[in-house]
Structure 1
């Protein structure tokens, strides 16, 4: 046994609201890890509509790790949304061409790099991730949160702007989880250890370190 077919679009029998994103996304600047899914009752295949202001000429990437759960209407605002507020005008002349290309190099002086979502991250309904944010492994983004800053691993954040609510586990447990990075194991090992991964048995988790 090794779980659902990694190459399937709809991994759950008779359910068409949830898809494995890696098998759906076509934009080369969006990278999706294995088994990460998007759940949307309207059309989960249209996930890319939620990646906003993602222009090729900027070249920034959205990177999402493995085994993430992404709820409906989760939005990722990319660097193309930024305007340079240090200039006399915020109007993006360079983007329009027609002789205005000289302004392209100054289109935005505040690009914040790639947006990176770790593995085993849960992004709640209607959450918004702003440009250049890094969300750590195992983090939870609450419903309607607007994430403007990096999110630590295994933390829960919520609100607008999103703030730390609490950590999911104690420091020792988080250190173990950060060390084992179970999502990088082969799928047979993950399948074997699902009883541990789907529990909160810290002693069993410690045994994985010894193994």
Structure 2
């Protein structure tokens, strides 16, 4: 599945050099400060409040962002996370890509009861389905099917939802 991003072409210097033509300098400053506060805040409810209130992210109930998580600094409002999800330590969630001749923006949708392992990177325009598990250190460059277990760089499906259910059934039978 191709990522769902919108491309914006630029002329002249690379798109990152032209960043403040695409997003307000003051928005980036405010977002950066809020993200830095949230990265070090050990209070999960406070983090979620900061993200919802100041970054306009959609964050479900009882979702836990671990220490050092970095949501997109330029376009955090393009990120939504369901309920009872865990985002692991030092994970980066990007809703933008600044390239040489273009930049791309895409919504990131993370479902409910998702487990994202530490040090993962989620690229713009992907959806992670409900109940999915993303192994630590994974580059999420395409959609993750609901209930599946994925990992690696490049990301691969390790177990489908059905395979995981079969494994759990075998383990409970023993």
TM-score by length of 2: 0.62
Gaps in structure 2 of 5+ consecutive residues = 1-40, 170-174
Q: Which runs of 4+ in 1 moved over 6 A?
A: none
Q: Select 2:98's aligned residue among 82, 96, 100.
A: 82
Q: CA RMSD in A?
A: 2.7
If each structure's strand is expressed as a fraction of its own residues, which one has the higher value? 2
The answer to whether 1:23 aligns with 2:55 is no
1:147–1:162 CA contact under 8 A, matched in 2: yes
- State the match for 1:122 in structure 2: 115
Q: Pick 1 or 2: higher relative contact order, CA cutoff 8 A, min separation 6.
A: 2
- State the match for 2:66 in structure 1: 39
1:38–1:70 CA contact under 8 A, matched in 2: yes
**SS of match in other structure, 1:24:** helix
- How many residues are matched? 126
**Cα offset, 1:39, TM superposition:** 2.2
Residues 1:166 and 1:30: Cα distance change in structure 2 (over 3 Å): same
**Cα offset, 1:170, TM superposition:** 4.9
- State the match for 2:135 in structure 1: 142
The answer to whether 1:54 aligns with 2:58 is no
TM-score by length of 1: 0.52
1:34–1:67 CA contact under 8 A, matched in 2: yes
Trace 1:1-211 onto structure 2 (pairs within 5 A). 17=42, 19-20=44-45, 21-25=47-51, 26-40=53-67, 47=69, 50-55=70-75, 61-79=78-96, 81-83=97-99, 90=100, 108=103, 110-111=104-105, 113-170=106-163
Q: What is the CA–CA distance in structure 2 between the aligned matches of 1:147 and 1:118, rounded to whole Å? A: 14
**SS of match in other structure, 1:54:** coil
**Cα offset, 1:23, TM superposition:** 2.5
Residues 1:114 and 1:33: Cα distance change in structure 2 (over 3 Å): same
Residues 1:53 and 1:22: Cα distance change in structure 2 (over 3 Å): closer
**Cα offset, 1:157, TM superposition:** 0.6
2:66–2:90 CA contact under 8 A, matched in 1: no
- Which structure's CA Rg is the greater one? 1
